[in-house]
Structure 1
């Protein structure tokens, strides 16, 4: 019994050991299997996380202009401008030319400049043309900035004030649209453009201006030099008095949509039109013996209605008293040094498709003195009316706005008289009342005003023979009322123009000198510049 139990116990122990051994082997095998299984899901999550982090980092770097700032557009000397910073100069150039050319109908504010062909270079879009123009201006700015640094120039108090005013304007826009300065700079220029960039570029521009002022401030000319410059450029300085009468004609242009017979008929009609215009011009010329006969001959060609209108308005459409030189047949005939009063001719002005009869009276140098004055501009606000408003209602609303502006101008004028009626009294009113931001900080000062700048009513008062220092009045201009304070007469107009011409000539020579001086060290990458319009 005991022996059997012992045997059974031994068997049980052996069986137990066998089970333990098998169990251990199974665990070992399972462990081995687990080590061999690749953790696909875990690795996938890690990879996605890394890629997502990289994508976010990439996006952040792109949005803050990190990559674009590594791309240099231009270097002159030790000064470099990157592609983000170039947007500052590009935007200034684009805004300037858009404003300028929109006045002449060449470029509209809503033109897609990235797709529209430039009017001056058919191989480029407007945007590409602006890039080129900005690059040329930037070269000059960097030349001058480097020269200013060499000369040890610093910003003047006036320039520092000007920079402060820039920030005031920026903050005003930010307040109006409820955005931060950072948002303003990004929206105005490019991703990554910040206040530090603005500060640096504003300094570069202002230092370049300081260098220009430093150089042009040394320009001084004697009366003999100005006279010599005038004589050398007389035709562009003088104004011409003459009479003219135009006879229009048509020119043939083949139309591919029409038959050969129709084109031949159109060609014959155009040739007849041109021959008739030339004959009429020469017949008119034969009637002219002096200025009065010219005027009468032109008057006799008018319809009865046009004669009545001309008589009522007391106009003389054939007479030009302040014509300027133009480099064409008409301009060169008028500017010919052999020209004498009573000379007459017929000229074919092909550009306007007209035969023009000309009668020369005189040419004159502009001897009148320019004017220095101060002004307070009171704008006439636009009248806001419903789309359904009648013409009478719109006119009434516009008149109300004019009345409001006039009342404000009267208020300024009365305060001026009540507080001393002198320059000091006028100066005290400028900042509080003027709408002219360009002269608000200079007590309304406008120097060297020429005739024709602000219209007939303005000229009649400012350039009156009895005008004297301290005179003040209110003048209505288109869109505003002007409270004008007369200071004094300035230099003769011709002399001012000659001095300006000489300065421009000498300044251009100086810039050419800088171009040569910095040519070797100039680096310009057009591809990086065009990132601004990408």
Structure 2
């Protein structure tokens, strides 16, 4: 009994001791104000390492998130574009050579900053430029990346990506300049422009849908990370505004009849055309062992040596006296490229030929002022001899015309697009035009709004310099009617549906050719001046260019 009591007393004593020790520990953990002291790690190294580990985790996650969402491509700068009004063209003189070293010391870019281009924008340029080269493969697909990593076509130490970077710089520089000027001129995008952008986005959405991927995924394959619909839309808006300024410059270049006629009189044969017949006798040069193999591309005759080819050509020439005999003799020898040649087309006849696209010898003979109808000759060419018969030389006065149209298609299988309903809709649109300003600009807005011709709707329904035979007969007949006047509008039905046609005017082919030539020369001078005063520099973000 006493033993049990002693044991119980020992247990109580031990419990009191443990409780007292706990109270003492808690007391030590309290501050003077009675609250619990903060826990401190006496090991500073451990504390610092812990902080660094946390920071590394945060930074790593941030970097992963930025890469995953293309934030660095979206915000990192690839290029800065500047306009230097004081830039001057340099010439290679001895004086320039002496100052070359001094010029190298002053490498800081000069001029007013007119644009900063992100890596995402640069990659959109790359995606567009590379489509043809990569044969449809996205620049940021594995196939595209493998192609971009192939050796450069110009620099033994570079890659195809480096080659395309140079092209991107040129597009970016001119685009930035035009965008800058457009803003200075107060140009803005209108409803038709926005519809064009919407149409571009919709086409990409359609392609993505056909590929069973989202638009965002499709854009990342074509244009790389960081390019979503919003970024692409902003890019398209910027470049469309730049295009509006470029078009404004183009439209400002006009030339009067005196200037055009003077240009023609300086060299008529540069614009005249000829019709002629020809037949080629292929021959092989056996005078050297290194002569190339010659194939009979223009002749059904077997390949022989040059002397025999000349003899055959001369015999052929002696037998032909007019176009009919020329055609008969050619038929005896066989038609050219019989498997691919249109059986209804005369293979020996060439029409509307220009001197610029002929060999010098052929051009000089055909365009000689001494030439008479049915003159004939044999001309030596690379790989054989050509028998030529002159028919006529003329100033091309064929009419080319400009017009706008709104197409409303007909589909009898669609109850909403029957002939009757489509005609009624065309008449409603015409009435809307007639009740408005009745200008080309007003018609263009309606074309953007209503036309079903995807090839011209976004451009206000406009087609320029249409030659005879390019459009369906009913359309052409309306536009080439001698009574037609600029500004005439009418509904014309063709196999495509109902066209509301706005006629803008006609010019003769030779006249249009010269106007375009003069315009191209002036535009080239303008572009050279812009290139002189505009410079582009690469920024740190360029290291992300063309890379996923």
Q: Shorter-chain TM-score: what band?
A: 0.5 to 0.7
Aligned residue in 1 for 2:318: 286
Which of 491, 494, 497 aligns to 1:474? It is 494
Residues 373 and 484 in structure 1, CA contact (< 8 A), matched pair in contact too: no
The equivalences for 1:332-343 within 5 A come to 332-333=363-364, 336-338=367-369, 340-341=371-372, 342-343=374-375
Partner deviation per Cα, 1:464-507 (whole Å, 9 max, x = no partner): 778977473434xxxxx465555545222322232222222211
Look up the match of 1:148: 182
Tell me what 1:369 maps to.
399
Q: CA deviation at 1:158?
A: 4.1
Q: What CA distance in whole angstroms lies between the structure 2 residues aligned with 1:327 and 1:166?
A: 41
CA 1:331/1:235 → structure 2, altered by over 3 Å: closer, same or farther?
Answer: farther
- Choose the corresponding residue for 1:208, options 242, 247, 261: 242
Give the Cα separation in 2 of the matches to 1:491 and 1:179. 49
CA distance in 1, matches of 2:461, 2:365: 40
Q: Would the aligned equivalents of 1:451 and 1:459 in 2 still touch at CA under 8 Å?
A: no
- Alpha-carbon distance between aligned partners in 2 of 1:423 and 1:294, rounded to the nearest angstrom: 55
User: What does residue range 76-87 of structure 1 map to in structure 2 within 5 Å?
Assistant: 76=82, 77-78=112-113, 79-87=115-123
Q: Distance in 2 between matches of 1:110 and 1:245?
A: 46
Matched, 1:522 2:522: no
Aligned-partner Cα distance in 2 for 1:136–1:187: 23
Deviation of the 1:321 alpha carbon: 1.9
SS of alignment partner, residue 317 of structure 1? coil
* Match 2:468 to one of 439, 451, 470: 451
Contact 1:65 1:191 survives alignment (8 Å): yes
Normalising by the residue count of structure 1, what TM-score does the alignment of the two structures yield? 0.64
How big is each residue's C-alpha offset from its partner over 1:311-368, in whole Å with a ceiling of 9 and x where there is no partner? Answer: x966422112222441533663366443523343333443xx4432222222333322
| Partners of 1:412 and 1:232 in 2: CA distance | 56
Q: Which residue of the other structure, out of 61, 64, 73, is the alignment partner of 1:59?
A: 64
The equivalent of 2:349 in structure 1 is 319
The alignment of Structure 1 onto Structure 2 pairs a total of residues equal to: 441
1:276 is matched with which residue: 283, 302, 308? Answer: 308
Residues 413 and 474, structure 1, Cα contact 8 Å, conserved in 2: no
Q: Does 1:490 align with 2:524?
A: no
* TM-score when normalising by structure 2: 0.63
Cα separation, 2, equivalents of 1:515 and 1:209: 17
Counterpart residue number, 1:227: 261
Task: State the Cα deviation string for residues 10-63 of structure 1 (Å, max 9, x = none).
Answer: xxxxxxxxxxxxxxxxxxxxxxxxxx9999999998876654444333322333
Q: What stretches of structure 1 of length at least 5 have no aligned partner?
A: 1-35, 103-108, 255-259, 379-403, 476-480
Q: Is the 8 A contact 1:113 1:125 kept in 2?
A: no
User: How do 1:428-447 and structure 2 match up within 5 A?
Assistant: 436-440=453-457, 444-447=461-464
Q: Does 1:136 align with 2:152?
A: no
SS of the residue corresponding to residue 239 of structure 2 reads helix
Q: 1:460 to 1:511 in 2, by over 3 A?
A: closer
CA separation of 1:438 and 1:293: change in aligned 2, threshold 3 A: closer
Contact between 1:416 and 1:425, CA under 8 Å: does it hold in 2? no
CA distance in 1, matches of 2:319, 2:196: 62
Q: Is the 8 A contact 1:240 1:334 kept in 2?
A: no
For 2:357, what is the secondary structure of its paired residue? coil
Decide whether aligned partners of structure 1 residues 449 and 138 sit closer, same or farther in structure 2, where only a CA change above 3 A counts: same
Partners of 1:425 and 1:340 lie apart in 2 by 56
Q: For structure 1, which segment, 293-302 or 65-74, has the greater mean C-alpha deviation from structure 2 after superposition?
A: 65-74
Relative to structure 1, is the Cα distance of residues 484 and 198 closer, same or farther in structure 2, using a 3 angstrom cutoff?
A: closer
Structure 1 Cα separation of the partners of residues 52 and 541 of structure 2: 36
Say whether the 8 Å CA contact 2:161–2:546 is kept in structure 1.
no
The Cα RMSD (Å) is 5.2
Shift in Å, 1:115: 6.2
Could you tell me which residue of structure 2 aligns to residue 299 of structure 1? 331
Pairs within 5 Å for 1:131-210 = 131-167=165-201, 169=203, 183=217, 185-194=219-228, 197-210=231-244
1:22 is matched with none
Q: d(CA) in 1 for partners of 2:540 and 2:477?
A: 52
Answer yes or no: is the 8 Å Cα contact 1:240–1:321 preserved in 2: yes
Query: 1:344 is matched with which residue?
Result: 376
**1:91 equivalent in alignment to 2:127:** yes
Task: Decide whether the 8 Å contact of 1:375 with 1:482 is kept in 2.
Answer: no
**Given that residues 127 and 533 in structure 1 are in contact (C-alpha distance below 8 angstroms), is that contact kept between their aligned partners in structure 2?**
no
Q: Which runs of 5+ in 2 are unaligned?
A: 1-40, 83-111, 137-142, 295-301, 434-442
Q: Structure 1 residues 272 and 420, CA, compared in 2 at 3 Å: closer, same or farther?
A: closer
Once the two structures are TM-superposed, the CA of residue 126 in structure 1 deviates from its matched residue by: 6.0
Query: Aligned equivalents of 2:415 and 2:377: distance in 1?
Result: 51
> Is the 8 Å Cα contact of residues 248 and 277 (structure 1) preserved in structure 2?
yes
**Match of residue 508 from structure 1:** 524
1:9 matched residue in structure 2: none
CA distance in 2, matches of 1:409, 1:245: 56
Query: Offset of 1:225 from its aligned partner?
Result: 1.1
Secondary structure, aligned partner of 1:87: helix
Give the C-alpha shift of residue 405 in structure 1.
Answer: 6.2
